[in-house]
Structure 1
């Protein structure tokens, strides 16, 4: 029996091993319950529209190099097919999302997550010599 609630957990990572963790439990509409295709579409909308409400006004530095964060990278893990549907959103504040050593480390973490989820791997990008500040 599937629950009527989606468990949505958001982790925002910052410097010096700091992080923010937010858990939301939106109710799944009755017409969506039990229909995986509708649940997938509904949960995507919840993530995108709900994400607009998660804001902060502090300066964030990147978790790896402690330089000021200029970009944000999102990784999503989804288990909506389970009796207790769950989505985990990992948000990383990053100094530079292009080809950089810092982004290379973050992409390696993302590859591990996708491997754990059983998704096909993406090829790694070559790191640049330095991060720009």
Structure 2
């Protein structure tokens, strides 16, 4: 339910669904089993600032910025491999759906964790899925492309949330005890990340895994 007071606007009903795979998943389409497809569903409840509350355009811009700020936690939440192949996931592609006129305002984000988001076969699969969705709904999903610098190898999603080093991929990670989302290779990394993570941790309401 939306909450309001003199200093704050309503809360945003934000659902993020991230899709990827595990290193042990079959390389063919049998990995896509409908409700059993490997994913995490996360409910967030950030408070909409008064300065944008009631203005649909500003609320949507704020929601986009808020989602981008949550992506460290989402990306590094597990030992993710690419949604469509067995390479490590290093990049993401997001679809943004919003209903800002509702009470409370609602946003759903579909995150596709991929090996590459520029010209790869896997990225083309995402685009094919988007076209199929557009044909069914009559409206193409709104995209939130992540920044991409040609030639740069981005950190693996399987790495530590703070240091993002590939050397941490095979380490036993600890999770934030409150949100059960952010993963760290050491106590030092968790402590160093707390000033950034605490805001996102506070607005995390539920984490549901479809993994086994």
TM-score of the alignment, normalized to the shorter chain, above 0.5? yes
TM-score, normalising length: structure 1: 0.69
> C-alpha distance in 1, partners of 2:71/2:89?
18
TM-score, normalising length: structure 2: 0.47
- Could you say if the C-alpha distance between residues 96 and 27 of structure 1 is closer, same or farther in structure 2, counting changes exceeding 3 Å? closer
> C-alpha distance in 2, partners of 1:97/1:38?
28
> C-alpha distance in 2, partners of 1:101/1:88?
25
8 A Cα contact 1:12 1:90, kept in partner: yes
> C-alpha distance in 1, partners of 2:14/2:57?
18
How many residue pairs match? The answer is 120
1:6 maps to 2:26? no
Q: Which moved more, 1:108-117 or 1:13-22?
A: 108-117
Gaps of 5+ in 2: 3-9, 22-30, 32-36, 143-212
> C-alpha distance in 1, partners of 2:77/2:58?
35
- Could you say if the C-alpha distance between residues 63 and 27 of structure 1 is closer, same or farther in structure 2, counting changes exceeding 3 Å? same
8 A Cα contact 1:77 1:117, kept in partner: no
Q: How does 1:84-103 map to 2 (within 5 A)?
A: 84-103=104-123
Q: RMSD between aligned alpha carbons?
A: 2.9
Larger helix percent: 2
Gaps of 5+ in 1: 122-133
Question: What whole-Å deviation, never above 9, does each CA across 1:48-92 have from its counterpart, x for those lacking one?
Answer: 223344352643212222332232222222222333311111111
Q: How does 1:77-88 map to 2 (within 5 A)?
A: 77-88=97-108
Give the superposition deviation at 1:7: 0.9
1:118 maps to 2:124? no
* Pair member with larger Rg: 2
